[in-house]
Structure 1
Amino acid sequence: MSSAVARPWWKDVVCYQIYPASFKDSNGDGLGDIPGILSRIDYLKDLGIDVVWISPMFDSPQVDMGYDISDYERVYTPYGLVNDMEDLIYARHQRGIKLILDLVVNHTSDQHAWFKESRSSKDNPRRDWYAEDGTRLPPTNWRSYFSGQAWEYDEQSGEYYLHLFAKEQPDLNWENEETRKAIYHSAMRFWLDKGVDGFRVDVVNIYSKGVEFKDAPIVDPRFYEQPAWCYYANGSRIHEILREMNAEVLNHYDAVTVGELPHTPDPKKVLEYVGASDKQLSMVFQSTLSTSARGASTNQGRSVSRFASDSPAYRTTSAKLLSLMLGSLTGTLFHYQGQEIGMINIPPTWPIDFYRDIESVNFYKTMAAQTQKDPAELEYVMRSLQILGRDNARLPMQWTGGKHAGFTDCETGPWTRVHDLYGEINVERQVREGKGSVLGFWKRMIRLRKEHAELLVHGAYEGFEIEDEKTFVFGKRESGEKRAAVVLNFSGEEQEVELPVYEGPVFQVGNYGDAAEKEKSIEGRIRRLRPWEGRLYLAGC
């Protein structure tokens, strides 16, 4: 059997993440929904997508935009019904597209039936299903990711409960076997039995918190509450729990798991979760580089704005640069909605009133109170949110240049403001522009990546000039003579790069659109790259 045949299906796929509130509204209420996702299924197929990942669409009070789940077996009513999800699963499978969901089981909503029963009395059978403590003072000085104390006193039960996120998101007690069994049944088997192909696993490495709650070291003397991930991330039982999850559930399905792995900068620790011989997770998002100092959730600043240039002169070039890089990197490719048309961050002129994310809003309020609304401090906060805040990725998808960007027919507009530049950056316009658009370039890169999967997806990676912070140069090697070289200029000035030595005819792709696509060979190894220019050379292919 060849290595290609033996590989798991998820090794070669392109996965597209959909934020349901912001993808497409089908019924004119201003909020995206499941039928709206279904209406754009052929758009995703044409793009070259193999897997769709839907962010939380479960029943929820929406304190944290669906990451506070009140019932794993129901859909948030404005998004649709379970029947709509079944229709979506069927339609995608008919087109050869798989579907994965968010598995959010570190915590639930405080409106979940489990928590309501847990807090009803101290002798309730589910009393130990959440992380709680009976002392009258907060058990520790731990800080929640959404600012403030991570412990909330519950008058009804007379005890504190832990919430590493919002106070409306109590943490489940993974030490309790009955709790784990209920999670496996309600949050996992229920959807796997309906044909879901796996899960993106939210903050997977913070389930195991142990039973000894210690105060966190003081790293920010301005606050009583301190970040305490050193005590609850990668806990002593986490690998045991994940092995059990596979034995009890996942091994019975051909399902993929993609773990969000915050606070794990050591590659050796990361590998402990994904070793093929020790079934825990299929793969992980190692989010240290994209995580703020105060939070675990992966911040979602748009890549064009954060890593390249969203200026009018270079935003199209920059979006193609990132497409060229991502399309050439090893591993499974994950793509966020709107990236294929080069959507950019919230304009810097937008005030805090336009932000909706609980993490961003609470952080602003905390810093305003702590600094007595110091203008310089709050200006810095707003600059930070404009770069890193989760609202950047939650603006409505820009389908057309018409009213509300074609996202909704609601007269009062969508649930959150549409980007000011939707008339310039939208799907409809880029379809007309064809191959020269960002959308056209993404389609081409996805197709090229699949045509040369053994080289681009699975080839051995080689890094060059790694000390240069303005350029990114890497190569790929496949068995035989096939080679790839990628040279990227991540700066607004011209840069010189040196190509690796590869023999044979060369096929070339560039984001400026004026480079020769075929050369008999690479003549000379020095290339002078224009601002935000990238080139991919394929040799021996």
Structure 2
Amino acid sequence: MMKFWLDKGIDGFRMDVINFISKAPGLLDGEMKEGRLYGDGGPYFINGPQIHEYLQEMNKEVLSKYDILTVGEMPGASPEDAVIYTNPINKELNMVFTFEHMDLDSGPKEKWDIRPLNLVKLKEHIEKWQTKLYGNGWNSLYWNNHDQPRIVSRFGDDQKYRIESVKMLATCLHMLQGTPYIYQGEEIGMTNVKFQTIEDYRDIETLNMYNEKHSMGIPDNEIMKAIYAKGRDNARTPMQWSNQLNAGFTHGKSWIKANPRYREINVAQALTDQHSIYYHYQQLIFLRKKLGIITTGDFNLLLTDFRKKSPILKEWEGLKPNE
């Protein structure tokens, strides 16, 4: 199958949960934990016993014979795991998608348990992955994808400071070592969407969660608040090409409604503004190609715990600067 598509001329593969393909023998039961409906089978299939054997065989038989890019989506992979998966001497994959930074605003039980982002934890995560893979492997860099809410609504301010927030997050990402991924609409600052009723949502994960929590008697407004923050449909609304009907995406009926903010956030508008988010992304890409230090230099984190060093931020948190 892979050879078929590579011979068609595709440039590589993004491999869904590829580190789950090796299972421990015996069909072992996962351990039950408080708050879970089922046992956790993760220890028996995440980074399983023959995963490296399988990937090396794939590389030998197919991947090594083409000039392509490979990235493995790998929940539960640590930096130490990523070094093995991405070190060229092991002949497996070019890079992996990690998920640690996507869990920093969730509680211990599930992603719908919304918590404020801890900026110190985010900086620690970035430092860990940048330093441990340096010279040993390769990072993939992303804020957004089809399974995650829009980063400006998540880690930034998608209202008054939307443009500034997007440019800041884009600059942070593109100044790191690794390969940046730009997800559709990220380059114009698309935001999360707040549909009025559950009938407007399409994602099966969201619908299942809504039905489960509704049956438990949890108020609709609380459920919808979680969906507005973390629902996958935030990333799946149509691309906002213009301020015309359906964001210029179609003259027909799209499978999911467009985000109403397409009237102000769209490609046509971005192209007319030389200071837009779109052109900022272009400048970042240009700098990465021009300045080798961005992709080859090492990483040193300054002000690891900013709260101990910034009087301004302490005041924002309601603390006195000398506390």
TM-score of the superposition, structure 1-length normalised?
A: 0.48
Residue 444 (structure 1) aligned to one of 283, 290, 313: 283
1:100-179 matches, within 5 Å, as none
- What's the CA shift for 1:345? 0.4
- What's the CA shift for 1:379? 3.7
Establish whether residue 205 from structure 1 lines up as the match of residue 53 from structure 2: no
SS in 2 for 1:344: coil
Structure 2 unpaired stretches of 5+: 112-144, 318-323
| Counterpart code for 1:444 | Q
SS in 1 for 2:170: helix
Residue 232 (structure 1) aligned to one of 45, 53, 63: 45
SS in 2 for 1:214: coil
Establish whether residue 272 from structure 1 lines up as the match of residue 84 from structure 2: yes
Residue 405 (structure 1) aligned to one of 247, 250, 253: 247
Instruction: Report the Cα distance in structure 2 between the residues aligned to 1:319 and 1:492, rounded to whole angstroms.
Output: 25
Q: Deviations over 1:82-130 (max 9, x none)?
A: xxxxxxxxxxxxxxxxxxxxxxxxxxxxxxxxxxxxxxxxxxxxxxxxx
Which one has a larger percent strand, Structure 1 or Structure 2? Answer: 1
Instruction: Report the Cα distance in structure 1 between the residues aligned to 2:47 and 2:193, rounded to whole angstroms.
Output: 34
1:23-38 matches, within 5 Å, as none
Q: 1:307 to 1:221 in 2, by over 3 A?
A: closer
Indicate the residue corresponding to 2:218 in structure 1.
Answer: 374
Which one has a larger percent helix, Structure 1 or Structure 2? Answer: 2
Indicate the residue corresponding to 2:233 in structure 1.
Answer: 391
Indicate the residue corresponding to 1:423 in structure 2.
Answer: 263
Instruction: Note if contact 1:199-1:256 (Cα within 8 Å) is conserved in structure 2.
Output: yes
Q: 1:257 to 1:222 in 2, by over 3 A?
A: closer
Larger Rg: 1
Instruction: Note if contact 1:470-1:490 (Cα within 8 Å) is conserved in structure 2.
Output: no
Establish whether residue 252 from structure 1 lines up as the match of residue 80 from structure 2: no
Residue 293 (structure 2) aligned to one of 455, 460, 463: 455
Percent of aligned positions that are identical: 39
| Counterpart code for 1:234 | N
SS in 2 for 1:304: helix
Establish whether residue 468 from structure 1 lines up as the match of residue 306 from structure 2: yes
SS in 2 for 1:418: coil
Instruction: Report the Cα distance in structure 1 between the residues aligned to 2:196 and 2:302, rounded to whole angstroms.
Output: 40
Instruction: Note if contact 1:342-1:425 (Cα within 8 Å) is conserved in structure 2.
Output: yes
Instruction: Report the Cα distance in structure 2 between the residues aligned to 1:490 and 1:275, rounded to whole angstroms.
Output: 39
Instruction: Report the Cα distance in structure 1 between the residues aligned to 2:6 and 2:251, rounded to whole angstroms.
Output: 34
Indicate the residue corresponding to 2:151 in structure 1.
Answer: 303
Q: 1:294 to 1:239 in 2, by over 3 A?
A: farther
- What's the CA shift for 1:351? 2.4
Indicate the residue corresponding to 1:318 in structure 2.
Answer: 165
SS in 1 for 2:287: helix
Query: RMSD in angstroms over aligned alpha carbons?
Result: 2.7
Q: Deviations over 1:447-491 (max 9, x none)?
A: 122221x1112211111112227999xxxxxxxxxxxxxxxx999
Structure 1 unpaired stretches of 5+: 1-185, 473-488, 495-541
| Counterpart code for 1:367 | K
Q: Deviations over 1:252-281 (max 9, x none)?
A: 1122210111012x3212212112111111
Instruction: Note if contact 1:287-1:298 (Cα within 8 Å) is conserved in structure 2.
Output: no
Q: 1:220 to 1:211 in 2, by over 3 A?
A: same
Instruction: Report the Cα distance in structure 2 between the residues aligned to 1:314 and 1:197, rounded to whole angstroms.
Output: 37
Count of paired positions? 279
TM-score of the superposition, structure 2-length normalised?
A: 0.79
- What's the CA shift for 1:493? 6.1
| Counterpart code for 1:429 | Q
Q: Deviations over 1:293-316 (max 9, x none)?
A: 558x973110101111111x1111
Q: 1:307 to 1:491 in 2, by over 3 A?
A: farther
Instruction: Note if contact 1:274-1:280 (Cα within 8 Å) is conserved in structure 2.
Output: yes
SS in 2 for 1:436: coil
